[in-house]
């Protein structure tokens, strides 16, 4: 097994990865920016090293500095967590060139799935359903308009290199479509250095349902059922749960079987290794369509761990070390229900704008079925430099009703003084009849 792993991330995910490494007896190396000096993840690790100023481009995205620290500390492997460099194929190549193991998929597969146009074409070749869309990038406004005239409005324009809702616009007529193409090209260029866009039919009020997968280097692959991530704001997830109440409702129609089979078909065709998530949108008639594959650990992996009892980070590490999966598909089953609430330093009443600040008193909830993955403590400064997520609260119960009840009790007992958070919003959602009945979609939260 690896002796030393460098965790190239910060906050709760760095702390979460470090905990699993410690459980496995692996020496951990944390990195931090000047803004994160003394942060919990640095205290938890066996050693911690400064990699640059607060600005993310000069620290957590500084590939050469991270590799330099890895070499100086004798790291055998690097775990990227999620976000930051976790899906950066250039980083993977540099890690491999330094003769260090990257805990994740190969760079060429990451590059393939990172381009939405290429990934879409690849999914079609694997007979995975995709939303009707352009056959590759659109050259400009006129080509986009021609597509919309053939397939009808509304349509969705996407930056090919986008992610997290960045570079996406819905258009309901020609005038708005022309504006959307220009806007997405500009946004793609500024955010990703790539102004390529494509277009597809817009599925109104869809659900966002995804399948967690694992694959080893010996051709073995598994699915870990599905997660529902339909409660979103600005195309970003806020509440996730497993299993999906919508899939459960349509289980008699074989929806879960069809979705998981499609996800594994993509994994096997790509010769994918390590952890990944195949994401789908699902319409009201239970038709599902591939949207993208995330070639990393997801923020919401915790709910899958809770219903399956599998430590996905441990599996990532073992696969990267070259071990074969010891779990078989028959070993996996769904145990109860789990819900995750992402706790952000943000103001839901001001269009979810980030609300950085210093935490006063701080106390995390506990109790049966409650798990908190956090990266903060009392007196911790939530700075404007990074994503404002403070923690994730996960509640597991024998069924969805119990999981929701436990989550409400946990959030009511979560103390985060002197910081504006979205906890009250979560409690409102958890009492809402639409949510309780499972009747939500990706635009539901922002339309309330």
392 vs 45, 81, 343, 370, CA distance in Å?
20, 15, 6, 11
Give Cα separations from 86 to 63, 163, 250 (angstroms).
11, 13, 34
Q: SS in 3 state form for the chain?
A: CCCEEEECCCHHHHHHHHHHHHHCCCEEEEEEEHHHCCCHHHHHCCEEEEEECCCHHHCCCCHHHHHHHHHHCCCCEEECCCCCCCCCHHHHHHHHHCCCEECCCCHHHHHHHHCHHHHHHHHHHCCCCECCECCCCCCCHHHHHHHHHHHCCCEEEEECCCCCCCCEEEECCHHHHHHHHHHHHHHHHHHHCCCCEEEEECCCCCEEEEEEEEECCCCCEEEEEEEEEEEEECCEEEEEEECCHHHHHCHHHCHHHHHHHHHHHHHHHHCCCEEEEEEEEECCCCCEEEEEEECCCCCCHHHHHHHHCCCHHHHHHHHHHCCCCCCCHHHCCCCCEEEEEEEECEEHHHCCEECCEECCCEECCCCCCEEEEECCCCCCEECCCCCCEEEEEEEEECCHHHHHHHHHHHHHCCEECCCCCCHHHHHHHHHCHHHHCCCCCCCHHHHC
Active-site residue list: 296
């Amino acid at each position: 097994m690896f002796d030393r792993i460098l965790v190239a991330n910060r906050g709760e995910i760095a702390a979460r990865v470090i905990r699993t490494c410690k459980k496995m007896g692996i020496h951990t190396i944390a990195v931090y920016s000047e803004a994160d000096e003394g942060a919990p993840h640095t205290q938890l690790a066996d050693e911690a090293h400064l990699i640059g100023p607060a600005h993310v481009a000069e620290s957590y995205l500084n590939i050469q500095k991270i590799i330099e620290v890895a070499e100086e500390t004798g790291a055998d492997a690097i775990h990227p967590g999620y976000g930051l460099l976790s899906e950066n194929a250039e980083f993977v190549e540099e890690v491999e060139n330094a003769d260090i193991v990257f805990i994740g998929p190969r760079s060429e597969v990451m590059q393939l799935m990172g381009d939405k146009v290429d990934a879409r074409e690849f999914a079609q070749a694997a007979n995975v359903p995709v939303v009707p869309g352009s056959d590759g990038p659109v050259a400009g406004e006129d080509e986009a308009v021609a597509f919309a005239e053939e397939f009808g409005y509304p349509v969705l324009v996407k930056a090919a290199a986008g992610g997290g809702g960045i570079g996406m616009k819905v258009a309901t007529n020609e005038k708005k479509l022309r504006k959307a193409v220009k806007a997405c090209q500009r946004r793609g260029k500024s955010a990703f250095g790539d102004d390529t866009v494509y277009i597809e039919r817009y599925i109104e009020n869809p659900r966002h349902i995804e399948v967690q997968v694992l694959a080893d280097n010996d051709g073995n692959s598994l699915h870990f059922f599905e997660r529902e991530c339909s409660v979103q704001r600005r195309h970003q997830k806020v509440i996730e749960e497993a299993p999906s109440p919508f899939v459960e409702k349509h289980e008699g129609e074989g929806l879960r079987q069809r979705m998981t089979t499609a996800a594994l078909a993509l994994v096997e065709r790509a010769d994918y290794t390590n952890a990944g998530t195949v994401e789908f949108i699902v319409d009201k008639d239970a038709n599902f369509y591939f949207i993208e594959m995330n070639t990393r650990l997801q923020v919401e992996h915790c709910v899958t761990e809770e219903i399956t009892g599998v430590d996905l980070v441990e599996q990532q590490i073992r696969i990267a070390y070259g071990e074969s999966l010891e779990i078989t598909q028959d070993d996996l089953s769904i145990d109860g229900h789990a819900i995750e609430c992402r706790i952000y330093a943000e103001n839901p009443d001001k269009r979810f704008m980030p609300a950085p600040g210093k935490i006063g008193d701080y106390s995390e909830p506990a109790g049966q079925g409650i798990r908190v993955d956090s990266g903060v403590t009392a007196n911790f400064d939530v700075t404007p430099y990074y994503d404002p997520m403070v923690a994730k609260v996960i509640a597991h119960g024998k069924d969805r009703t119990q999981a929701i009840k436990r989550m409400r009790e946990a959030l009511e007992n979560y103390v985060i003084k002197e910081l504006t958070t979205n906890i009250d919003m979560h409690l409102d959602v958890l009492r809402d009849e639409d949510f309780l009945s499972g009747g939500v979609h990706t635009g539901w939260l922002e339309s309330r």
